[in-house]
C-alpha cells in the first residue's frame, strides 16, 4: 500500500447463476470444514502433547487432507479461500494468546457466517469485471457506487447472509480518504444511552431510532409461523427466510443510521471522547439486554475508531469506572449513588440542576481533554466503590483537602 493511502472495502450485491451459486456454496462448506479440521488438530496437539501448531504446519496438513479419499472434495474448489481460512485461524489464535479474544470456536453450518476470501491469485479483474477462480463467467455485480479511479482489488470476499442475499466486498486503496482540515469544534464528549442514543456535551441529543422495536410485532408473527412448520420441510425453509429478511432489514437500517451519525461526528469534531463501556457485561441484565443490543454501542465505537483514523481526528476512550453521571460537572461533587431511573438531579453542594446524560457527556469531555493535555497516563477519578474507598471516606478526604487549601 502506498504511503498515505487508506485501504477500504467496497461492498456490493451480486446475483450468481445457478452454477456459480453451487460452486460458492461448496466453497463455503469446504472453508468451514478446513477451519474446523485445523482447529481440531491444533487443539489436540496442545492438550495431548503440549505442542503449538503453526500456520505452516496446518497448510501442510491441508495438502495431506486433499490426498485422502475422505476429504477429496477439497480439491474441487479453489485452494485460495482454504489457505485464507487457515490464516484467519492463525489470527484468531494470536488474538487469544495476547488476551484480546477467547479461544477459537468451531464453525457451525447454521450459525456461522458463510464467506470465502480470495487473494489476488484467486480472481481476475479486467475492465471492471470480476471473475473468480473455478468460474468461466464474471459475477453479475450491481455497482451501486463507483470504485476509486484506477482501483485494483487486493482482496475479494464473497458472502451470503441468512436471507440468501449474495455480497462481494472488494478491498482497494482509496486516495480520496485523507485527513480533513481542522474541525470547527475542538472536542466533544459523547454519553451513550437508550432513551437517547447519544447525548453530546453541547446539549444535543441524538434520538434512538429503536429499529428492532419498530418491527417487533411483525418479527414475532413470523417467528410464530416458523415454529408451526414441520421440521426439515420446504415450508419451514420459506418461513425461516421470512424471519431472516426481517432481521437483515433491521440490521441494514441500524448500520445505515450509525454510518451517517459517526461520519458527521468525525467531520465536525477534532477530538471525540467516549466511555469504555462493558457492553458484554451489560447484556447480562435481562431487562435491558434487548434494548442494548438494538442500540449497537460496540458498532458505534468501531466506526468512530476507523473514521477518526481516516480523517485525522482523535478518539479518547475514558475508563468505564469513571463516575461521569454521578459527578457534578460544575463543582465536581460526587454522589454516593444515582439510580438509573433518575434522569435529572440537583447537586447538593452547589445547587446546579443536571440532566443525567448531558452532565455525563460534559464530564467525559473534561476527562478526555485532561488526557489530551497531560498524556494517556492520566486517569480520571474512579468511582469510590471501585477503589475500595467508601463514599463517606471520599467526602471526608475532599473536605480535608478543601480546609487545607483555605488555611494555606
pLDDT given for residue 387 in this prediction: 45
The answer to whether residue 69 is catalytic is no
Run means of pLDDT, 10 residues per run, the chain, 408 residues: 72 97 97 97 92 94 96 96 97 94 93 94 94 95 93 95 96 90 88 93 94 94 96 94 96 96 95 92 91 94 94 92 91 90 90 92 92 64 50 43 35
Annotated catalytic, 186? no
Task: Name the nearest CA neighbour of 155 among 176, 177, 172, 175.
Answer: 172
Neighbours of 351 (CB within 10 A): 10
Mention every residue, 6+ apart, whose C-beta is less than 8 A from residue 359.
324, 325, 327, 328, 329
Encode pLDDT of 313-338 as tens digits: 999 999 888 899 999 999 999 999 99
pLDDT tens digit sequence for 54-76: 999 999 999 999 999 999 999 99
Catalytic-labelled residue, pool 275, 294, 358, 383: 275
pLDDT the model gives residue 404: 32
Strand partners, 157: 117, 169
Residues contacting 83, CB < 8 A, separation 6+: 59, 62
Cell digits for 95? 488474538
Catalytic member of 173, 212, 357, 358: 357
Task: Give pTM, 2 decimals.
Answer: 0.83
Using alpha carbons only, how large is the chain's radius of gyration in Å?
26
Is residue 28 within 8 A of residue 74, CB to CB? The reply is: no
**Active-site position among 173, 191, 294, 358:** 191
Active site residue 161: no
User: Looking at residue 375, what is its pLDDT?
Assistant: 66
State the pLDDT at residue 382: 56
Amino acid at each position: 500500500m502506498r504511503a498515505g493511502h487508506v485501504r477500504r472495502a467496497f461492498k456490493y450485491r451480486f446475483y450468481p447463476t445457478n452454477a456459480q451459486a453451487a460452486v460458492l456454496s461448496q466453497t463455503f462448506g469446504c472453508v468451514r470444514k478446513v477451519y474446523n479440521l485445523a482447529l481440531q488438530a491444533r487443539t489436540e496437539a496442545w492438550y495431548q502433547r503440549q505442542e503449538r501448531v503453526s500456520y505452516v504446519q496446518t497448510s501442510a496438513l491441508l495438502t495431506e487432507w486433499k490426498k485422502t479419499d475422505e476429504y477429496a472434495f477439497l480439491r474441487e474448489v479453489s485452494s485460495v479461500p482454504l489457505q485464507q481460512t487457515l490464516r484467519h485461524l492463525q489470527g484468531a489464535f494470536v488474538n487469544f494468546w495476547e488476551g484480546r479474544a477467547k479461544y477459537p470456536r468451531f464453525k457451525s453450518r447454521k450459525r456461522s457466517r458463510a464467506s470465502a476470501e480470495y487473494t489476488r491469485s484467486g480472481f481476475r479483474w479486467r475492465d471492471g469485471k470480476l471473475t473468480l477462480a473455478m468460474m468461466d463467467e464474471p459475477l453479475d455485480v450491481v455497482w451501486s457506487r463507483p470504485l476509486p479511479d484506477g482501483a485494483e482489488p487486493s482482496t475479494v470476499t464473497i458472502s451470503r447472509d441468512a436471507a440468501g442475499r449474495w455480497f462481494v466486498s472488494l478491498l482497494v486503496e482509496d486516495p480520496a480518504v485523507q485527513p480533513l482540515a481542522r474541525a470547527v469544534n475542538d472536542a466533544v464528549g459523547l454519553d451513550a444511552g437508550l432513551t437517547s442514543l447519544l447525548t453530546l456535551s453541547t446539549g444535543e441529543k441524538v434520538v434512538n431510532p429503536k429499529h428492532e422495536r419498530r418491527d417487533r410485532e411483525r418479527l414475532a408473527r413470523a417467528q410464530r409461523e416458523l415454529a408451526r412448520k414441520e421440521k426439515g420441510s420446504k415450508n419451514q425453509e420459506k418461513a425461516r427466510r421470512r424471519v431472516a429478511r426481517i432481521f437483515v432489514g433491521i440490521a441494514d437500517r441500524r448500520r445505515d443510521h450509525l454510518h451517517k451519525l459517526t461520519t458527521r461526528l468525525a467531520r465536525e469534531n477534532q477530538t471525540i471522547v467516549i466511555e469504555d463501556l462493558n457492553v458484554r457485561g451489560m447484556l447480562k441484565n435481562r431487562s435491558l439486554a434487548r434494548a442494548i443490543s438494538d442500540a449497537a454501542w460496540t458498532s458505534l465505537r468501531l466506526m468512530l475508531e476507523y473514521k477518526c483514523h481516516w480523517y485525522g481526528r482523535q478518539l479518547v476512550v475514558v475508563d468505564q469506572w469513571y463516575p461521569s453521571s454521578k459527578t457534578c460537572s460544575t463543582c465536581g461533587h460526587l454522589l454516593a449513588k444515582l439510580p438509573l431511573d433518575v434522569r435529572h438531579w440537583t447537586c447538593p453542594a452547589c445547587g446546579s440542576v443536571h440532566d443525567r446524560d448531558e452532565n455525563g457527556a460534559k464530564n467525559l469531555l473534561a476527562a478526555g481533554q485532561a488526557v489530551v493535555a497531560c498524556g494517556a497516563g492520566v486517569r480520571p477519578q474512579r468511582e469510590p466503590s471501585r477503589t475500595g474507598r467508601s463514599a463517606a471516606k471520599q467526602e471526608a478526604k475532599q473536605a480535608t483537602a478543601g480546609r487545607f487549601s483555605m488555611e494555606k
